[in-house]
């Protein structure tokens, strides 16, 4: 076993780069928002911050960063079932790198449970990953540059002028602050698209014995 597998090991691995790039091309062809390196890094940083703030070890924070960076790698196969595809691809990669199976099991179970369709907060890693992933809503994720042709997903993401995730270790809260241009998308459209994801965040925070809070234009929504 190789005890020196780190987040940087994963980020610098050629296969990971190839698969993430190819997977993002698949989603671009399907009309989805950005799901590659920017998203992966944001989610990794936020997930690790949550883990650290809630008292988990540095190594556990490192593991969740790996899970976060790899959580969408299965998009290269298909968007449908991508959480499970991502987990299987991560299993193969991490096994080949000689990672401790106990750590692999933590990473792949978090990845396999990050989608709001069938994912559950079955571990601290899974809960932290879910919150970080679902909180990454921003204008720069929208690929389509023609507002006339926006679908509701484009419109809602494009309407977000600013997003900030604040983790308070003392209060055990994770707060997502969104500034939304309601001339582009009203608040009700945000909830039409993201209600399931926000409920997943709330349940994930509950699992961590914390609270997930959503502020939209300085008004508390959750």
Alpha-carbon distance of 65 to 63, in angstroms, equals: 5
Average pLDDT over residues 84-99: 98
Task: Say if residues 222 and 212 touch (Cβ distance below 8 Å).
Answer: yes
| Residue 222 confidence (pLDDT) above 80 | yes
- Taking only the tens place, the pLDDT of each residue in 57-90 is 999 999 999 999 999 999 999 999 999 999 999 9
Does 3.90.550 match the CATH number of domain 7-220?
no
Q: What are phi and psi of 113, to 5 degrees?
A: -115, 20
**Which residue pairs from 72-76 have beta carbons closer than 8 angstroms and sit at least 24 positions apart in sequence?**
72/20, 72/23, 72/35, 72/36, 72/39, 72/40, 73/16, 73/19, 73/20, 73/23, 74/23, 75/23, 75/24, 75/26, 75/27, 75/35, 76/19, 76/20, 76/22, 76/23, 76/26
**Residue ranges of the domains in the chain?**
7-220
115 closest CA partner among 152, 156, 72: 72
**DSSP state string for 118-136:** T----SHHHHHHHHHHHT-
- Taking only the tens place, the pLDDT of each residue in 178-216 is 999 999 999 999 999 999 999 999 999 999 999 999 999
Predicted model pTM: 0.96
Chain-centre distance of CA 160, in angstroms?
17
| Residue 2 confidence (pLDDT) above 80 | no
Residues 6+ apart with CB under 8 A from 38: 140, 141
pLDDT for 26: 97
What average pLDDT is seen over the chain?
A: 96
Burial category of 201 from C-beta neighbours within 10 Å (exposed 0-12, middle 13-18, buried 19 and up): buried
Average pLDDT over residues 124-132: 98
Burial category of 81 from C-beta neighbours within 10 Å (exposed 0-12, middle 13-18, buried 19 and up): middle
- Vertex 194: Cα angle to 191 and 198 (nearest 5): 100
Task: Say if residues 199 and 139 touch (Cβ distance below 8 Å).
Answer: no
Task: Say if residues 211 and 166 touch (Cβ distance below 8 Å).
Answer: no
CA distances from 135 to 10, 39, 197 (A): 23, 11, 8
């Amino acid at each position: 076993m190789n005890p020196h597998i780190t987040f940087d090991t994963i980020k610098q691995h050629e296969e990971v780069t190839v698969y993430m790039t190819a997977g993002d091309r698949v989603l671009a062809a399907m009309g989805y928002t950005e799901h590659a390196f920017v998203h992966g890094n944001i989610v990794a940083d936020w997930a690790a911050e949550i883990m650290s703030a809630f008292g988990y070890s540095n190594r556990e924070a490192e593991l969740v960063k790996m899970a976060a960076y790899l959580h969408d790698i299965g998009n290269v196969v298909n968007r449908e079932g991508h959480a499970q595809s991502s987990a299987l691809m991560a299993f193969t990669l991490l096994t080949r790198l000689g990672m401790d199976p106990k750590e692999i099991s933590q990473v792949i179970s978090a990845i396999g449970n990050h989608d709001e369709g069938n994912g559950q907060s079955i571990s601290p890693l899974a809960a932290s990953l879910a919150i970080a992933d679902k909180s990454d809503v921003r204008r720069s994720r929208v690929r389509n540059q023609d507002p006339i042709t926006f679908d509701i997903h484009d419109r809602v993401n494009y309407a977000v002028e600013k997003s900030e995730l604040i983790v308070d270790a003392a209060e055990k809260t994770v707060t997502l602050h969104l500034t939304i241009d309601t001339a582009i998308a009203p608040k009700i459209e945000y909830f039409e698209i993201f209600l399931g994801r926000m409920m997943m965040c709330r349940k994930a925070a509950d699992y961590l014995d914390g609270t997930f809070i959503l502020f939209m234009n300085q008004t508390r929504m959750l």
